[in-house]
Amino acid sequence: MNNTELNAILEKHVKYINREKGGEIADLSNADLRGLNLMGAYLERVDFRNSDLRGVNLQDSYLKGADLRGANLEGANLRGSYSKWVNFKDANLKNVDFRISCLQDAIFDDSNTEGANFEDSDTEGSNFEFWI
């Protein structure tokens, strides 16, 4: 999937979130999104389950309530993201940059966080059970 195709899906998603005509929830589960630039994107409640997001730029993105279970985010940039209530269960978060992010009430159960940088991030209420 390229940025143009993704932008079309996300435009419909924003309409869905705002309850506007023509809106449709974004289902990006099992998608190959490697290396895409999603800096500052509005991704509230997007389904990214089992997607390949290696090296994706999600800096300053809004991911509230997104589902990233089983996703591969190795080397992704989530610096400054708003990721409250995000489900990272079973995700590969190796070397992810989470610096200065809001990760309140996020779920990290059974995720691989080896080398991930959480410096100056707010992880209040987050669940890190059995994380690696």
Q: What is the residue extent of each domain of the chain? A: 27-132
Q: How many CB atoms lie within 10 A of CB 45?
A: 16
Three-state DSSP class for residue 60: coil
Chain centre distance of CA 31: 13
User: Tokens 């059974």 map to which residue?
Assistant: 110
The band of 131, judged by pLDDT with boundaries at 50, 70 and 90, is low
pLDDT digits (tens, 9 = 90+) for 48-61: 999 999 999 999 99
pLDDT digits (tens, 9 = 90+) for 67-108: 999 999 999 999 999 999 999 999 999 999 999 999 999 999
The band of 122, judged by pLDDT with boundaries at 50, 70 and 90, is very high
The band of 2, judged by pLDDT with boundaries at 50, 70 and 90, is confident
CA distances from 116 to 41, 94, 132 (A): 21, 6, 11
pLDDT digits (tens, 9 = 90+) for 34-51: 999 999 999 999 999 999
Ranges of H-type helices in 39-109: none
* pTM tops 0.85: yes
Cα–Cα distance, 108 to 22 (Å, whole number): 34
Three-state DSSP class for residue 77: strand
Q: Using an 8 Å Cβ cutoff, are 79 and 98 in contact? A: yes
User: Tokens 């993105």 map to which residue?
Assistant: 61
CATH superfamily of domain region 27-132: E3 ubiquitin-protein ligase SopA (2.160.20.80)
